[in-house]
Structure 1
Amino acid sequence: MARYDLSEAEWRLIEPLLPNKPRGVPRVDDRRVINGIFYVLRTGSPWRDLPSRYGPHTTVYNRYNRWAKAGVWLKVFEALAAKSPQSLHLIDSSIIRAHQHAAGGKKGGPDHAIGRSRGGLSTKINALVNQDGLPLRIVLSAGQASDKAAVAELIDGLPPAQALVADRGYDAQAVIELVRSRGGCAHIPTQKDRKLQRSVDPAIYRQRNLVERFFCKLKHFRRIATRFDKLARNFLAAVLLASTRLWLRAYESTP
């Protein structure tokens, strides 16, 4: 088994979540194709440089692209994340530089979550993780977008947690009220220039390092540490697949 390939335990977890094979011409081996996708995501290699053991690179890329468009990768990720106990939510964002290949789309086209921030053209990954640092929701936005603007989409549809933890960048009364309206309590420090300072439980706030560690693990996938995909849909698929791999490893290590 190659370095980045799925283990037997990981494959047993993900196989039932894949689409049923269509009638007629059999689909190329799912496991081999998905291993090829993970190789590209982890190493950052161009698709055409995929080792021959994974089959034609066009087959692997076309499956990645087609299933991204069909929402398959999102469904797989959500199926694994659905078993989270939801006792604690932690949110944060991370800026990803967009490679010139990703930023070369036509002006006036659809929004592909690329904007100009302090570091140049970039995308922001907004993430919500649970008490184990495992991702529950991923949202992309342009690099210059406010962190607060992604909160509603991050928590929408999720069972409310007892506590939601975030840094000062999320300090807004609208965010506090949104969390409270869903039955939770927001642990978000106030901006230093505010007259009225909100107290935050230090023991709970220290847990915020879990979401920071999640981003560190995510960026081990070089295809995510730098954005090469022009389409937001395909870059989101890469982030969801890397997040899926983290869930698979967590399940594999659970006795």
Structure 2
Amino acid sequence: MARFDLTDEEWAIVTPLLPGAEGKKNGRPRLDDRKVLNGIFFVLRTGVPWRDLPERYGPYTTVYNRFNRWAKAGIWIGVFEALAAGSPESLEFVDSSIIRAHQHAAGRKKGGPDHAIGRSRGGLSTKINALVDSRGLPVRIVPSPGQASDKAAVPLLFDGRRAGDVVADRGYDARAILELVAALGGTAHIPTCSDRRVQRSVDRELYRKRNLVERFFCKLKHFRRVATRYEKLAANYLAAVLLAATRLWMRFESMT
């Protein structure tokens, strides 16, 4: 087994979440899903171009085409959400991280969709907004342009969910967010900005646990194709991020 390949335990976790066999095309059976997934994770983890995928994973065109096709079909989103559905809602952390966009990802047509790429202080970038549970595992991930406000992603992170105790830094200090969390049955633990007339205090021990979301981003960026955005389409980059997050879930589940 190669270094970044799925273990038998991880494969057993993800197998039921994959679509059934698509049958034969042009008289040929499709390449084994496990081999394809191993090839995809090799690319995500090492950051190599698809063309440089080692031959042991099969034709790079087959591996990329399945990654791309299943990204468009929402398969990778469904796999991630199926694993994240087992997360408790008692304690959650919200934060974001800026990802630099490679020049190959920034060549969209003029006047077309922005594909979650914007221009921030560091240049062209994408922002990953994440909701993480009390075990440091991702529950919801939303991409946005690099210059977008962190606050704007919060309604999307909680869309269709109930809220528990939600912890975030003062960058999320806004009445709309406090009211949203309260409406979802939760309590927001967010310190106020220094210029506010009325200051809110947050339990120090609870606030220290924010390192869980920071450690999540650190683990996520071990996947080099996530740490730098090479994908031009927002759907493909989101698929790459969710697959990396899915691998974190598989590792956790395989050890419990």
TM-score bucket (shorter structure)? over 0.9
**Which consecutive aligned stretches of 4+ in structure 1 deviate over 4 angstroms post-superposition?**
none
- 1:201-220 to structure 2, matched below 5 A, reads 201-220=203-222
Q: Decide which moves more: 103-112 or 49-58.
A: 103-112
SS of the aligned residue for 1:159 comes to coil
Alpha-carbon distance between aligned partners in 1 of 2:225 and 2:41, rounded to the nearest angstrom: 10
8 Å contact kept, 2:116–2:145: yes
Letter paired with 1:17: L
**Percentage identity across paired residues of the two chains:** 72
- 1:1-255 to structure 2, matched below 5 A, reads 1-25=1-25, 26-161=29-164, 163-254=165-256
**RMSD of aligned C-alpha atoms?**
0.8
Alpha-carbon distance between aligned partners in 2 of 1:11 and 1:87, rounded to the nearest angstrom: 29
SS of the aligned residue for 2:105 comes to coil
Offset of residue 147 of structure 1: 0.2
Cα-to-partner distance string for 1:176-202 (whole Å, 9 max, x where unaligned): 000001110000010111111111111
SS of the aligned residue for 1:101 comes to helix
Q: Decide which moves more: 39-48 or 18-27.
A: 18-27
SS of the aligned residue for 2:134 comes to coil
Aligned residues: 253
Alpha-carbon distance between aligned partners in 2 of 1:111 and 1:105, rounded to the nearest angstrom: 7
Q: Which runs of 5+ in 1 are unaligned?
A: none
Alpha-carbon distance between aligned partners in 1 of 2:5 and 2:19, rounded to the nearest angstrom: 20
SS of the aligned residue for 1:45 comes to coil
Letter paired with 1:12: A
Q: Which runs of 5+ in 2 are unaligned?
A: none
Letter paired with 2:235: R
Offset of residue 21 of structure 1: 1.1
TM-score by length of 2: 0.97
Alpha-carbon distance between aligned partners in 2 of 1:146 and 1:176, rounded to the nearest angstrom: 16
8 Å contact kept, 2:108–2:114: no
Alpha-carbon distance between aligned partners in 2 of 1:24 and 1:36, rounded to the nearest angstrom: 21
8 Å contact kept, 2:162–2:185: no
